[in-house]
Amino acid sequence: MQWETVIGLEVHVQLATNTKIFSGASTAFGAEPNTQACAIDLALPGTLPVANEQAFRFATMFGLAVNAEIGKRSVFERKNYFYPDLPKGYQTTQLAEPIVGPGFVDLELGEGRTKRVRIHHAHLEEDAGKSLHEDFAGMSGIDLNRAGTPLIEVVTEPDMRSAEEAVAFAKKLHSIVTSLEICDGEMSQGSMRFDVNISVRPKGQEKLGTRTETKNLNSFKFMEEAIALEVERQIDVLEDGGKIIQETRLYNGDTKKARSMRSKEDSNDYRYFPCPDLLPVILDDDYIESVRKQMPELPEAKRARFVEQYGLSSYDAGQITMDKFAAAFFEAATEISGEAKLTANWIMADLGAYLNRTEQRIDHSPVTPRLLAGLVVRIKDGTLSSKIAKQVFEAICNGEGDADTIIETKGLKQVSDTGALEKIIDDILAANIAQVEGYRAAAEDKRAKMLGFFVGQAMKASKGQANPQALNELLIKKLNG
Amino acid sequence: MHQFTIAELVTGLRNKDFSSTEVTQHYLDRIARLDNTYNSYITVTADIALQQAAAADKRLAAGNAPALCGVPIAHKDIFCTTGVRTSCASKMLDKFIAPYNATIVENYLNSGTVMLGKTNMDEFAMGSSNETSWYGPVKNPWAIDCVPGGSSGGSAAAVAAHLAPAATASDTGGSIRQPAALCGLTGIKPTYGRVSRWGMIAFASSLDQAGILSRTAEDAAILLNDMASYDAKDSTCVERDVPDYTADLHKSLKGLRIGVPKEYFGEGLNPQTAKLVEDAIKVYESLGATIHSVSLPHTHLAVPAYYVIAPAECSANLSRFDGVRYGHRCENPKDLNDLYMRSRSEGFGAEVKRRILVGAYALSAGYYDAYYSKAQKVRRLIKQDFIDAFASVDVILGPTSPSPAFQFGSKTKDPVAMYLEDIYTIATNLAGLPGLSIPCGLVDSKPVGLQLIGNFFAEGQLLNAAHQFQQATHFHQQSAPGIE
């Protein structure tokens, strides 16, 4: 039987506000446990929450970026459950009246394929603290630094049909929130966490299959793996005549295995009700417009601009603008080199590979826009062949200085000088009389192929530094006598 | 010295008739000597009081002291006080010391008042008799075998027994006005949002409001001037200037339109109480006010709606008391669930548990619409009743509670009978309106309270009406028998 996969996502995005959503404590990551939790975060009696305006601004920006209706009236509710890292015994979140209503995101999947993923809604809420189960024999430690960090939870419609689409959506969302600078995008620190709802159904069937939810995936790679694994598991179960149980699952990226965490029967009754300590928040049109005006350029708009302004292909522009730091790098380097297409190629290919290999971020790249531009300029003006350019790039990566310094000290300058090239060619022709005779005797249409032999010999003799175009021209001239 | 009102203390301190240290020491001595009988204080802060009094005397000597400088008062043990235990009369918080002051405590510190101690109350303010306190019941100075009312029973008894010239209190469904009535005092619950709730331990957040128990309306006005403030730390606090509440005290009541709701004089009201309220109406007529019959048709729904909304909110508000970070924790928990269950079972008393259970039930899946949603609809109707009534009257008048102080144990077996104690006061909290109770006579030698309800932020008008009544009557000057 042919199966169709159906995927919906719930994404927790930590907002990069200076302070927590309901208190003045800092949200910085990595501090000593419990040093960034004030009386409100600890839920000491008599303390009260005050909503953070910046969190509303960020959520509004997000809503505008995903073409959503902004909730002009949004209401915080209490979601009641007991857990040691949830100090108040309830999470303050939104349910009936969220800040962001229905919207959508358009994906480009390569080869011209596109996909629209609908956003059901996105709501503001507070994060919980962390329970630390290691380090304390027989006990758990609680770190409340994260408690009260603002989140938006983005809930999609079940519109994705493959891991590829789900990952493309996740990457797009990452690119949107980092471009807006409302989230630092540090997935390894939990700044974006993905819950994936997965079901399968026979192709052509309208009715959705029973879904499972795999929680807390914090990398695109794990997400892709977890989806593949779960789809396979569900199909196996169904093909063996079994039934899918609605449950929450956990995927372990190290062991590449998933396990059931709890079934739907164990689910809590959260007893939601509007939080009486926080009044409904009303956003008027002026506020929403003022937020719209403050918004940084979105990836979509930037892509269009890169096509228009720099003459990049739509695909290249899409690749570069996916990461706002890559886009900024590109613009800075192009400004210096004046050569957009070549700069884009180098960023996507060699620089990208180097940063991947060394696990560095482009905004912290030791190869700066100025260094890359220096290289591009020397390729463009013919000083470097593309082959030698790769050597120079390696040297730049090794911290040996800028392109001009490396060219100078290593003597890697491309030989375009006619006198020097003539000398090399004359030597080669003299050493290969038979081949020269053969060339001259051959018909015109065969000659092009035979030319390669002489080019190869000459390049070798020049240690790769001969300017290929100048070499070609001179060779043909000499061979033709 | 303990006969003085706040107004008289202010004058005496300013005229150097006595020092703050003298007044404070006098009250501390009285508390030490007499409070074994009343149990009105949970914590007496003698050392702090004397330090604050000494500091106040210096400020008074320097001549630039604020009005209330050097005046001793007591705080209900629901208000957090830096460095001093705040128990909310619960075993759960028997060892809890907050690292911050409630905003109202801070306001009174800034105005130089002296804190005598923290007063007893019903546990987490849940009760109408002060019988649910973990620190034991409070005795009514007027009748030692009777309750002082609740939940601010300790504040009321302390003021009635002259163990404090006035005290702070809080009112969620009548917790200031009913004890004021039962102990022969003036008690005011301001408009919701008039006074900051920061640092006041929450019972039902949408209903809780801090206020004052004092011996006269003038004292309440003086004290409210410093209690009320806008506070950015409380999102429900209203940004609105605080008027001088003493400014209008002496205004004539000529032309004041007083509404008397017929629903407040039905079944359940003690006939002698009703008689005293009717006498009070005549006093107001003699002062030039006009009396109008009004209707608050949803009054009978106030108690049922309240006992869904307040428990629902408290069920969440009290979840933080889980034995994890502070408060009572059971011995040797065997796992997390055991820690939660035993810490909470041991830390909370029966009435608190009852309300948490009722609230959790009212919010649970399948019952939310029938209980919580419906109660919120009723709440809107009740508020609308008042808005309609205030279209034609300035103040609404009625009894504060159905009957005078009752004996210990007489209502503890029947929660509903206890809940009906607040039948006339609860609607005010549901609507968010200010309300006030003043003494209007005695029944069986026990005080009866007259309730005045004002429009939103009309505290000045209420205090004016109360003060004028007290100028024309002597009920507020009566002391409990045996109180020297």
Q: What is the pLDDT of residue B418?
A: 87
CB atoms B322 and A39 under 8 Å: no
Q: Which residues pair with A193 in a beta bridge?
A: A12
Which residues in B lie closer than 8 A to residue A47 (C-beta atoms)? 100, 198-199
- Catalytic, B295? Answer no
Checking phi first, is residue B184 left (phi over 0); if not, alpha (psi -120 to 50) or beta?
left
Give the gap in angstroms from C-alpha A53 to the nearest C-alpha of chain B. 13
**B424, B390, B371: which is closest to B178 by C-alpha?**
B424
Q: Which residues of A touch B (CB under 8 A)?
A: 39, 42-51, 78, 80, 82, 84, 87-90, 142, 269, 271-273, 276-279
Q: What is the pLDDT of residue A266?
A: 64
Please enumerate in sequence order all residues whose Cβ is within 8 A of that of A59, keeping only pairs 6 or more positions apart, or say none.
A15, A99, A100, A122, A124, A152
**Cis omega before residue B437 (within 30°)?**
no
Q: Strand, coil or helix: what is A163?
A: helix
Q: Which of A271, A275, A279, A282 to mutate to test the interface with B (most CBs of B within 10 A)?
A: A271
Is residue B177 within 8 A of residue B451, CB to CB? The reply is yes
Give the gap in angstroms from C-alpha B233 to the nearest C-alpha of chain A. 6
Sign (positive/negative) of CA torsion A128, A134, A138, A139?
negative
Checking phi first, is residue A46 left (phi over 0); if not, alpha (psi -120 to 50) or beta?
left
Report the distance separating Cα A26 and Cα A28, nearest Å.
Answer: 6
Q: What is the pLDDT of residue A469?
A: 80
Distances (CA, A) of B352 to A203, B91, B124, B385, B398: 56, 12, 7, 31, 30
Q: Give φ, ψ of A405 to 5 degrees.
A: -60, -45
Give the gap in angstroms from C-alpha B109 to the nearest C-alpha of chain A. 18
Q: Give φ, ψ of B327 to 5 degrees.
A: 80, -175
Complex ipTM value = 0.96
Nearest CA in chain A to B92: A45
CB atoms B199 and A39 under 8 Å: no
Please enumerate in sequence order all residues whose Cβ is within 8 A of that of B474, keeping only pairs 6 or more positions apart, or say none.
none
Encoded tokens for B123: 């546990």
Map B73-133 to HEC letters: EEEECCECECCEECCCCCHHHCCCECCCCCHHHHHHHHCCCEEEEEECCCHHHCCCCCCCC
Q: What is the pLDDT of residue A265?
A: 63
What is the pTM (predicted TM-score) of this model? 0.89
Cα angle A54-A55-A60, degrees, rounded to a multiple of 5: 95
Q: Which position among B151, B196, B403, B437 bears the catalytic label?
A: B151
- Catalytic, B19? Answer no
Q: What is the pLDDT of residue A471?
A: 82
Is residue A311 within 8 A of residue A93, CB to CB? The reply is no
Domains of chain B and any CATH numbers? 6-251+458-477 (3.90.1300.10)
CB atoms B320 and A80 under 8 Å: no
Encoded tokens for A273: 């009700």
CB atoms B79 and A45 under 8 Å: no
Checking phi first, is residue B121 left (phi over 0); if not, alpha (psi -120 to 50) or beta?
beta
**Helix-then-strand count for chain A, H and E:** 16, 15
pLDDT band at B38 (very low <50, low <70, confident <90, very high): very high
- Catalytic, B151? Answer yes
CB atoms A46 and B79 under 8 Å: yes
Beta strands B446-454 and B257-261 are unpaired
Could you read off the pLDDT of B122-146 as tens digits, one per residue? 999 999 999 999 999 999 999 999 9
Nearest CA in chain B to A85: B324
Report the distance separating Cα A394 and Cα A411, nearest Å.
Answer: 15
Q: Which of B324, B329, B344, B367 to mutate to test the interface with A (most CBs of A within 10 A)?
A: B324
pLDDT at A411 over 80: no
Report the distance separating Cα B457 and Cα B193, nearest Å.
Answer: 9
Other CB atoms within 10 A of residue B338 CB: 12
Q: What is the pLDDT of residue A424?
A: 85
Please enumerate in sequence order all residues whose Cβ is within 8 A of that of B163, keeping only pairs 6 or more positions apart, or say none.
B2, B27, B30, B31, B34, B35, B38, B40, B41, B74, B116, B157
**B358, B409, B463, B367: which is closest to B130 by C-alpha?**
B409
Q: What is the pLDDT of residue B232?
A: 97
Mean per-residue pLDDT over chain A, rounded: 92
Could you read off the pLDDT of A113-166 as tens digits, one per residue? 899 999 999 999 999 999 988 888 888 899 999 999 999 999 999 999 999 999
**A244, A257, A240: which is closest to A209 by C-alpha?**
A244
Supply the angle between the helices B6-14 and B217-227 in degrees, to the nearest 10.
Answer: 70
Nearest CA in chain A to B341: A82
Please enumerate in sequence order all residues whose Cβ is within 8 A of that of B226, keeping only pairs 6 or more positions apart, or say none.
B66, B67, B68, B107, B108, B110, B111, B113
Mean per-residue pLDDT over chain B, rounded: 97
Query: HSE (CB half, 13 Å, CA atoms) of B432?
Result: 18
Q: Which residues of B touch A (CB under 8 A)?
A: 79-80, 86, 88, 93, 96, 98-100, 102, 197-202, 204-206, 232-236, 312-313, 315-316, 318-322, 324-326, 336, 340, 360, 363-365, 368, 372
Give the gap in angstroms from C-alpha B146 to the nearest C-alpha of chain A. 31
Could you read off the pLDDT of B361-413 as tens digits, one per residue? 999 999 999 999 999 999 999 999 999 999 999 999 999 999 999 999 999 88
Other CB atoms within 10 A of residue B305 CB: 23
Report the distance separating Cα A26 and Cα B57, nearest Å.
Answer: 41
Q: What is the mean pLDDT of residues A174-189?
A: 94
Q: Strand, coil or helix: what is B437?
A: strand
Q: Strand, coil or helix: what is A119?
A: strand
